[in-house]
Amino acid sequence: MTSLVPPIDGVRRSFVQARGVRFHVTESGPADGRPVLALHGWPQHHWVYRGLLADPPPGLRIIAPDLPGYGWSGPAPHRWAKDDVAADVLALMDALGLDRVLLVGHDWGGFIGYRMLLAAPERFDGYLVMNMAHPWQTPRTILPHFWRFLAYQPFVASIGMALQRRTPYLQRVIFGTGPKAHRVKPADVRVYTERFRDPVVARTATDTYRTFLLREMPTAARNPEVRRATVPIRALFGMADFAVHHSLAAPETANADDYTFEPVDAGHFVVDERPDLVRARLIALAEETAG
């Protein structure tokens, strides 16, 4: 290991085996509280939800796993195909005895969350998703913004091991791009980026993007998503996002029974920048879907 797990007051930590993955799981709140499963993105880990974990909303049990190969979880026994990861996390829910949860996802955690709720909608009461495109894309919606993917994803997919482990690429490009007012604090950036010096974590990120570009995007272009979401979805979107354009989360193109979109004065890393708002919207979703 190249870095220690960052401390968060009052949390419980465990390692849970599910579908061949040794998940590192951090949780807080009452053990019998209403479960909230919070999924992080790249280049981050469970610590992005430190605000919720340190001060869980009343009655809620916050559960923040490191996704396979990220943070302090063990490597995935696959090349990070997103449906495989969704199956891994559903298996983690089984291992934790979670029948139904409120779901929270940001970035790739948001992508995985969509795959989960489309595959097993009966297991989710509601979904708070942040700065991620919804799955109902077509070439017409993607092509105007494809340049955003090309700006960084091919580099991570090809030479990502060296970039993440031996250069300041993550600090200067991924966290350092965009308006200064919306950048993550340097001390917080270091907590995230140090973990990517571990070869397992760096390889996972490379697999994440290589599989997406070479397999999943071409497949999605040929076979657009047709399943309709029946779970209430609340999309929170930092409008200064450099990586994902807000139009890719537009309610007009969402194939969902109950989908709302809320623009936010923030960048891509909205959980770091606006933890107060994320907390408020989670509480609102919990109240809306209670009973």
The secondary structure of the chain, three-state, reads CCCCCCCCCCCEEEEEEECCEEEEEEEECCCCCEEEEEECCCCCCHHHHHHHHHCCCCCEEEEEECCCCCCCCCCCCCCCCHHHHHHHHHHHHHHCCCCCEEEEEECHHHHHHHHHHHHCHHHEEEEEEECCCCCCCCHHHHHHHHHHHHCCHHHHHHHHHHHHHHCCHHHHHHCCCCCHHHCCCHHHHHHHHHHHHCHHHHHHHHHHHHHHHHHHHHHHHHCCCCCCECCCEEEEEECCCCCCCHHHHCHHHCCECCEEEEEECCCCCHHHHCHHHHHHHHHHHHHHCCC
Instruction: Kindly compute the dihedral angle of the four CA atoms of residues 88, 89, 90, 93, in this order, to the nearest 10 degrees.
Output: 130
What is the spatial distance between Cα 94 and Cα 134, in angstroms, rounded to a whole number?
25
Average pLDDT of span 171-175:
96
Question: 139 CB contacts (<8 Å, ≥6 apart)?
Answer: 221
- Is the predicted pLDDT of residue 219 greater than 90, yes or no? yes
**Which pLDDT value is given to residue 3?**
82
pLDDT score of 2 more than 90: no
For 112-159, the pLDDT digits (tens) are: 999 999 999 999 999 999 999 999 999 999 999 999 999 999 999 999
Residue 192 has pLDDT above 60, yes or no: yes
- Residue 178's pLDDT is what? 86
Share of the chain above pLDDT 90, in %: 98
* Alpha carbon 122 to chain centroid, angstroms: 20
Q: Residue 223: what pLDDT?
A: 95
14 Cβ contact partners less than 8 Å away, ≥ 6 residues apart: 24, 25, 27
Do the Cβ atoms of 199 and 2 come closer than 8 Å? no
pLDDT digits (tens, 9 = 90+) for 52-95: 999 999 999 999 999 999 999 999 999 999 999 999 999 999 99
Contact 106, 40 (CB under 8 A): yes
Instruction: Kindly report the average pLDDT of the chain as a whole number.
Output: 97
Q: What percent of the chain is predicted at pLDDT more than 70?
A: 99
One-letter amino acid at 27 equals: E
Domains of the chain: 12-142+226-288 (3.40.50.1820)
CA 246 – CA 259 distance, rounded (Å): 14
Tell me what the mean pLDDT of segment 181-206 comes to: 97
Which two tokens mark 2?
A: 């190249």
Q: pLDDT at residue 1 above 50? A: no
Average pLDDT over residues 160-186: 95
Residue 202 above 90 pLDDT? yes
Nearest CA to 241 out of 209, 215, 264, 258 is that of 264
